[in-house]
Amino acid sequence: MKLKDVIYTIVIVIFSITCGIISNDYIIGTIILATGLLNSYYASNGRIINYVFGAIYCLFVAYVSFVNGLYGLAGLSILVYFPSQIMGYISWKKHMNDDEVEAKAFTFKKAVIIIISCIVGSFIFGYLLSLIPGQRLAFLDSSSNIINLCAVILMNFRYREAWMIWLFNNTIDLIIWIINTVQGTPNSIMMLLVSIGFMVINFYGLYMWIKNTKKKNIVK
């Protein structure tokens, strides 16, 4: 592990603990914030260890989402996002170069297909979630999940555009957790901090992947 990674890891852990104390969410919130930020940080640098933190993050997010009535996010976290961390680890393991993963980029055709798929998928999943008693913010929940799922899949296949999709998803997540924070739902303050932290790191990730791919021949 590089010195830079050690320093950033310590900073993220200290930041997460501090946020946990401030928000009075000492255990679950701190773990979610720390593992989520570490997952994004190491992914932004093309490091395969990100999937270890991602797996832990998915399990705890599933619990928080369930108690907040966000059943779409809870279900996908357990049934889709958690297994995707394992698949991502396996996929990246096959395409590592000097301890960093080899990146790929979109063609215009792939971009159009992804956008249309996200829109259609969000409406279909949102309708299905709206049929569940107690489900809150059904279409925001569905949009967040479908877009995030798309980004997770693209990251597993090493596409740099995954960071752009995650940034768009950050906007939806912020809306969801601002609403929950105003309404005083459990763990919502910490989840709002997680969303803000993700947005910052996702900008960093996009910058790093664009910077790194310019130095190499990108596979489309």
Kindly report, residue by residue over 53-96, the tens digit of the pLDDT.
999 999 998 998 888 887 877 888 899 889 999 999 998 888 87
101's enclosing H/E stretch is: strand 100-101
Give 96's strand partners.
101
Q: pLDDT band for position 7 (50/70/90)?
A: very high
Give the angle subtended at the CA of 169 by the CAs of 101 and 217, to the nearest 5°: 30
Find out whether 118 and 171 touch, Cβ atoms under 8 Å: no
Q: What percent of the chain has pLDDT over 70?
A: 95
Find out whether 103 and 46 touch, Cβ atoms under 8 Å: yes
Q: Is 158's pLDDT higher than 80?
A: yes
Buried residues in 90-117 as b, exposed as e (16+ CB within 10 A): ebbeebeeeeebbbbebeeeeeeebeee
Q: What is the CA radius of gyration of the chain?
A: 17
What is the rounded distance in angstroms from the CA atom of residue 158 to the CA atom of residue 87? Answer: 12
- What is the residue extent of each domain of the chain? 3-214
96's enclosing H/E stretch is: strand 96-97
For 24, counting Cβ atoms within 10 Å of its Cβ (0-12 exposed, 13-18 middle, 19+ buried), the class is exposed
- Residue 198 carries which side chain, given as an amino acid letter? F
Give 104's strand partners.
159, 219
Higher pLDDT, 23 or 15: 15
Kindly report, residue by residue over 103-122, the tens digit of the pLDDT.
777 777 888 888 898 889 98
pTM: 0.75
Helix, strand and coil content of the chain, in percent to the nearest 5, comes to 75, 5, 20
φ and ψ at residue 96, rounded to 5 degrees: -95, 140
Find out whether 157 and 149 touch, Cβ atoms under 8 Å: no
Ramachandran area for residue 19 (φ above 0: left; ψ -120 to 50: alpha; else beta): alpha
